[in-house]
Chain A
Amino acid sequence: MSRILQKKVCLLGAFAVGKTSLVSRFVNGIFSDKYLSTMGVKIDRKSLQLDDVTVNMMLWDVHGEESVKKVPAAYMRGSAAYLLVIDGTRSATVDTARELHARMRAEVGDVPFVVLLNKVDLKDEWELSDADVATIREEGWECLMTSACTGENVEAAFIRLADQMIA
């Protein structure tokens, strides 16, 4: 018997790593290179059909983490899974992701998450070396190289997260 599940999924990461672009690519299939900073939170829905389960992902596109404007715990609360987004062209975003990961753990416990190394289309400009990526993977983080611009691995990342949620 088919089931419909609703899940709150948070997108977390430093500012301008491409969270909103990833959601836009995943939900609407479009990409704009115009940068619009997200204020507060923007919510979108995407339904995924996995076998006999329909997962309605409520995507909480939270504003980027900044030193002066932290992501409030209230947005994290109740998340069934989350995506940590890292901008490959800025290595500092890895540290931000680590901090957010720690706070998320404290708030919602051990829930599934996937790490997105975004902007793979700009690989030439990457600050992250393969060694850095390997280090991140060694921490047990599941990493996917994504690009909201080309759409590479975007759908795969969300499907992977949904799989983990219903497992």
Chain B
Amino acid sequence: MSDQQVKNSDGDDSCKQNGDFNHLKELLLGEESRQIAVLEEHLENPELHAADMGRVLHKAVQINQQQEPGALADALAPAVESSLYASVRKDPDSLGDALFPVMAPAIRKSIISIMHGMVQSLNHMLENSFSFQGLKWRLESMHTGKSFAEIVMLHTLAYRVEQVFLIHKADGLLLQHVSFMEEDTQNADLVSSMLTAIQDFVRDSFQVEANDSIEKLSMGNMVVHIEAGSKIVLAAVVRGNAPAEFTETLQQRCELIHKQMAGALEAFDGDASVFNAVRPDMESCLLSQTASTPTGSNLKAKLMLSALALALVGWSVWGWYQADREQKLIRALDALPGFVVIRSGDEQGALLIAGLRDPLADKPDKLLHQYGFSNDDVRLIWTPYQSLERAMQIRRARAVLKPAAKTRLNIDQSKLIVSGVAQSSWLERARALQPALPGISEIRSDQLVLSDSPEYLLQEAIKQLQPPTTVRLSISGETLIAKGKAPDAWLKKAAIVMNIVPGIKVYDGSAMINMEADDYLLAESVRLLNPPSSARLHVYQGILAASGKASQQWVERTASAAALVPGIKAYDDSKLVNTQSDVYLLSESIRLLKPPSSVRLTVDQGILIATGKASSRWVKKASRALHIVDGINGYDYSNLVNTRSNAYLLSQANRLLKPPSSVRLSVRRGRLAAKGVASTRWINNARKRVKRIAGIRSFDTNELIDVGSNAYLLAKIKRELQPPATVTLKLNKRELIISGIATTAWAQRIGKLILHIDGVDTVWQQDLVVIEKALATLKRMLLNADLRFVANTSQLMDGETSKIQRLAKQLMKQADLMRITQAHVQITGYSGLLGEQAEVLALSRAEMVKRELMKHGLTSKRVKTSGQKTQNEGWAARLDLVWRALP
């Protein structure tokens, strides 16, 4: 209680003191106290405190990061981890949603990478499953207890990471480069830029998403793995098959470098030296793995075993071959006639063969050689015996019976069959000896021909003598009879048949004809050649001769056919005259045609040819030669000259008269005519000479021009002057007269020429009318003739009619000239009247003049009229001459 009181008393006291103190405090620190209270409030009140912190927290974090980088992150890490953990436990979706944009590409990338790895190993597994390698690996898998896939991977994953590039992503610049080989580093910066450019190029070209990039470039067995981060690109050049994990390794390195070099990347200005720091990281990517290859350690053992096996095989083959050879020999010996092999075996390295042998059998040496054995290799022990084999039996029969070479022996079961040819004496002896042959019960001789039988003898005679078909042989007892015909040689051969065929004792050839006898040959020749009655044949000592006459056909045919007559050795036709031969025909022609001495005859292949000169009469006769001379087929008289023919006479005339080249002679029916130009002397000579030519009856010189004659001279002058058709030239005793109508041009041309014409002394050309001159004269005359009329009428004044008549007379004189030049008189009438009547009157006046002119012979074609009125009186019609211009 007291404590309470004390306390209370103290309390009262202290209360009083406190009150003062507080008052004092209030006075001194009133404002501060309130501020402290507010601060206290902020510190104590969590809400206010949190609000304060919120205002400065971001600044505080920034300062903290600057002062102690990482400290805050370290401090926060557990809290963040646990809060994330709590958040996921509470609601995984919200965090999943927030992380989705980050996670999804990463997961996708990872899955693709894993899938690719799986496909790769699967490929290898499949590739190697069915090969020899595959089987080997399967065995290895069974042996080691590892899975097959594991073994495949082990062997196939041989690779080497050769280079790793660290590339600045934005500009493609090389930050760092590590390589297996030093020389690769030279162009690394170019490669780096180019890789980036390729990335850009592909991205630009193929419309891919912004963050997609090339992850792998592969060429042959080289692959470039490209791992792109946000700022850098890590590219690894790998030769061979890198395992799928390698991509992961590369990813991890990329992330690591990102983290480590974040600052340097941010500040990168082209200086790459700071990135030397990441070299170790990159070098750790230079991985490699070698595929194990089988070693050759047991090669020797294998070789030895192989050699041994080879020797063993060789030895067994040789043994087998040797045994086979021996067996073959034994079988062959046993099969040999007269041999029986009973046993065989090996005796001191040699082959022992023992058995039975017929003494008549062949020696076995040949067989031994055939099988490649020598006498030393084989020992033979034979016991003699008689073999009943067919071959041995025949051999034995031969030895006993000794048959002739033509006799054949054979065995049929127990019968000895004798065939071929043998004498009957031999057959008898054989039958007697038969019991001495073991195993032979009888001898059969049905196929044996006895050499002393007639059939055999005839057969032999035919065989030996070879008679021609014309001979027939027969046997009578021991006599050979021949009939028919045969050449001399055969007859001689047949006569000694006894010496050739044993068994034939006599030859009878009395009925034979010798085919080489002359009378036989003649008969044959006549029969075969059939000569005409005019020819005769002879044969002497085999030579055929023909004489007399025969046609060419028979002569020719016989010349070749005679040699074909059997037995004829030669043919002589020198005494035979060929009635168709040219020589015979010529003599006949001369005899029958009797040609004159000036004719020479020849005959060529039946054609009669006559040359020389003959009269028409003889020629006429000769042309009938075909009928006169037998055997002449035709004639040729083209070279025979008919002395009365025109051609012959002409040639004679040419030869004798020798005309100059300007003269051409012709002959017709005995009249000689000469054409052309010749001298008077030649003409006179010719007239004399022509009388010496027989057959020329007259000489015609009408068309022959004498060089000295006027006609020749005139022709020459015409050639020179070439006068027109209207001009006539005449020559009268060296005086040339020119008349007719000509142009001035021609007249002027000849003016000079006529002064120098040979053979002309004077030229007369008064009668030559020169066109232009004559027409001009006429024109002048007409123009001067003004005709007057009675006023206002078309009646001519007195005296004018006679004027017109004179004019017409003059015009008519030159009518030819007017026609040639087609000239006409132009009459113009005039009148002094006024009005329309003037022209009518003028024209009627002109017509009046025309009528007057026509009265005196002018044709209307040569007169033309027109009318004109004029004031000028004094005359009333005017005339003019108009012609066409001359060429």
B197 touches A40 (CB 8 A): yes
Is B460 part of the binding interface, using a Cβ–Cβ cutoff of 8 Å? no
| Chain B residues within 8 Å of A60, by CB | 193, 197
B269: which of A5, A44, A72 is its contact (CB, 8 Å)?
Answer: A5
Determine, out of A74-82, A85-93, A128-136, A150-158, the stretch whose residues face the partner at the interface. A74-82
A74: which of B168, B174, B204, B269 is its contact (CB, 8 Å)?
Answer: B204
| Chain A residues within 8 Å of B194, by CB | 43
Is B40 part of the binding interface, using a Cβ–Cβ cutoff of 8 Å? no
Cα distance A136–B217 in the bound complex, in angstroms? 45
Is B31 part of the binding interface, using a Cβ–Cβ cutoff of 8 Å? no
A4: which of B171, B172, B190, B273 is its contact (CB, 8 Å)?
Answer: B273
B189: which of A3, A58, A77 is its contact (CB, 8 Å)?
Answer: A58
Cα distance A33–B172 in the bound complex, in angstroms? 31
B200: which of A5, A45, A74 is its contact (CB, 8 Å)?
Answer: A74
A78 touches B271 (CB 8 A): no
**Also in contact, A78 and B201, with CB within 8 A (given A43-B193, A58-B189):** no
Closest approach, in angstroms, between the C-beta of A153 and any C-beta of chain B?
25
For B657-687 the 0/1 string (1 means CB < 8 A from A) is 0000000000000000000000000000000
Q: How large is the interface on A (under 10, 10 to 19, 20 to 34, 35 or more residues)?
A: 20 to 34
Cα distance A78–B269 in the bound complex, in angstroms? 11
B170 touches A78 (CB 8 A): yes
A80 touches B203 (CB 8 A): no
| Chain A residues within 8 Å of B270, by CB | 5-7, 55, 80
B190: which of A8, A44, A74, A79 is its contact (CB, 8 Å)?
Answer: A44
Closest approach, in angstroms, between the C-beta of B309 and any C-beta of chain A?
65
Is B173 part of the binding interface, using a Cβ–Cβ cutoff of 8 Å? yes
Query: Which chain A residue shows the least CB distance to B197?
Result: A41
A8: which of B172, B201, B204 is its contact (CB, 8 Å)?
Answer: B172
B203 touches A8 (CB 8 A): no
A5 touches B190 (CB 8 A): no
For B263-307 the 0/1 string (1 means CB < 8 A from A) is 000000111110000000000000000000000000000000000
Is A56 part of the binding interface, using a Cβ–Cβ cutoff of 8 Å? yes
B272 touches A75 (CB 8 A): no
Cα distance A5–B269 in the bound complex, in angstroms? 8
A3 touches B271 (CB 8 A): yes
A6 touches B190 (CB 8 A): no
Cα distance A74–B272 in the bound complex, in angstroms? 22
| Chain A residues within 8 Å of B173, by CB | 6-8, 58, 78
B201 touches A41 (CB 8 A): yes
CB within 8 Å of A: which B150-174 residues: 168, 170-174
Closest approach, in angstroms, between the C-beta of A76 and any C-beta of chain B?
10
A40 touches B170 (CB 8 A): no
Closest approach, in angstroms, between the C-beta of A108 and any C-beta of chain B?
9
**Also in contact, A56 and B189, with CB within 8 A (given A4-B272, A6-B272, A8-B172):** yes
The CB with the most chain B CB atoms within 10 A, among A55, A72, A79, is that of: A72
CB within 8 Å of A: which B171-218 residues: 171-174, 187, 189-190, 193-194, 197, 200-201, 203-204
Cα distance A18–B189 in the bound complex, in angstroms? 24
Closest approach, in angstroms, between the C-beta of B765 and any C-beta of chain A?
92
B189 touches A6 (CB 8 A): yes
Cα distance A114–B190 in the bound complex, in angstroms? 23
**Also in contact, A75 and B193, with CB within 8 A (given A4-B271, A4-B273, A8-B172):** no
**Also in contact, A79 and B171, with CB within 8 A (given A43-B193, A45-B189, A74-B200):** yes
Closest approach, in angstroms, between the C-beta of A100 and any C-beta of chain B?
16
B172 touches A78 (CB 8 A): yes
Cα distance A55–B173 in the bound complex, in angstroms? 12
Cα distance A44–B174 in the bound complex, in angstroms? 13
Cα distance A78–B172 in the bound complex, in angstroms? 8
| Chain A residues within 8 Å of B172, by CB | 8, 58, 78
B204: which of A3, A5, A72 is its contact (CB, 8 Å)?
Answer: A72
**Also in contact, A75 and B200, with CB within 8 A (given A4-B273, A8-B193, A43-B190):** yes
Query: Which chain B residue shows the least CB distance to A59?
Result: B193
A74 touches B271 (CB 8 A): no
B171 touches A74 (CB 8 A): no
Cα distance A81–B272 in the bound complex, in angstroms? 18
Query: Which chain B residue shows the least CB distance to A77?
Result: B170
B204 touches A45 (CB 8 A): no
Cα distance A72–B272 in the bound complex, in angstroms? 27
B197 touches A8 (CB 8 A): no
CB within 8 Å of B: which A42-100 residues: 43-45, 55-56, 58, 60, 72, 74-75, 77-80
Closest approach, in angstroms, between the C-beta of B481 and any C-beta of chain A?
122
For B224-258 the 0/1 string (1 means CB < 8 A from A) is 00000000000000000000000000000000000
A43 touches B197 (CB 8 A): yes
**Also in contact, A58 and B193, with CB within 8 A (given A5-B271, A8-B172, A78-B171):** yes
| Chain A residues within 8 Å of B197, by CB | 40-41, 43, 60, 75
The CB with the most chain A CB atoms within 10 A, among B173, B200, B201, is that of: B200
Cα distance A148–B69 in the bound complex, in angstroms? 55
Cα distance A6–B171 in the bound complex, in angstroms? 10
| Chain B residues within 8 Å of A55, by CB | 270
| Chain A residues within 8 Å of B193, by CB | 8, 43, 45, 58, 60
Query: Which chain B residue shows the least CB distance to A44?
Result: B190
Query: Which chain B residue shows the least CB distance to A3?
Result: B271
Cα distance A80–B168 in the bound complex, in angstroms? 13
| Chain B residues within 8 Å of A8, by CB | 171-173, 193
Closest approach, in angstroms, between the C-beta of B146 and any C-beta of chain A?
48
B203: which of A6, A7, A74 is its contact (CB, 8 Å)?
Answer: A74
| Chain B residues within 8 Å of A6, by CB | 173-174, 189, 270-272
Query: Which chain A residue shows the least CB distance to B203?
Result: A74
B271 touches A41 (CB 8 A): no
B190 touches A78 (CB 8 A): no
A77: which of B171, B187, B272 is its contact (CB, 8 Å)?
Answer: B171
Cα distance A8–B187 in the bound complex, in angstroms? 15
A40 touches B273 (CB 8 A): no
Query: Which chain A residue shows the least CB distance to B175?
Result: A6
Cα distance A41–B168 in the bound complex, in angstroms? 18
Closest approach, in angstroms, between the C-beta of A64 and any C-beta of chain B?
15
| Chain A residues within 8 Å of B200, by CB | 41, 72, 74-75, 77
Closest approach, in angstroms, between the C-beta of A94 and any C-beta of chain B?
26
Closest approach, in angstroms, between the C-beta of A59 and any C-beta of chain B?
9
Query: Which chain B residue shows the least CB distance to A10?
Result: B171
| Chain B residues within 8 Å of A56, by CB | 189
For B437-454 the 0/1 string (1 means CB < 8 A from A) is 000000000000000000
Cα distance A80–B269 in the bound complex, in angstroms? 9
Cα distance A45–B271 in the bound complex, in angstroms? 16
| Chain B residues within 8 Å of A44, by CB | 190
The 7 closest A-B pairs by CB, nearest first: A78-B171, A74-B200, A78-B170, A5-B270, A8-B171, A72-B204, A6-B173
User: Which A positions have Cβ atoms within 8 angstroms of B?
Assistant: 3-8, 40-41, 43-45, 55-56, 58, 60, 72, 74-75, 77-80
Contacts A8-B193, A75-B204 aside, 20 further interface pairs with beta carbons under 8 A come to A3-B271, A5-B269, A5-B270, A6-B174, A6-B271, A7-B173, A41-B197, A43-B197, A45-B187, A45-B189, A45-B193, A58-B172, A58-B193, A60-B197, A74-B203, A75-B197, A75-B200, A77-B170, A78-B171, A80-B171
User: Which B positions have Cβ atoms within 8 angstroms of A?
Assistant: 168, 170-174, 187, 189-190, 193-194, 197, 200-201, 203-204, 269-273
A-B contact pairs, 16 of them (CB 8 A): A4-B271, A5-B271, A6-B173, A6-B189, A6-B271, A6-B272, A8-B193, A40-B197, A41-B201, A44-B190, A45-B193, A58-B171, A58-B173, A60-B193, A75-B204, A78-B171
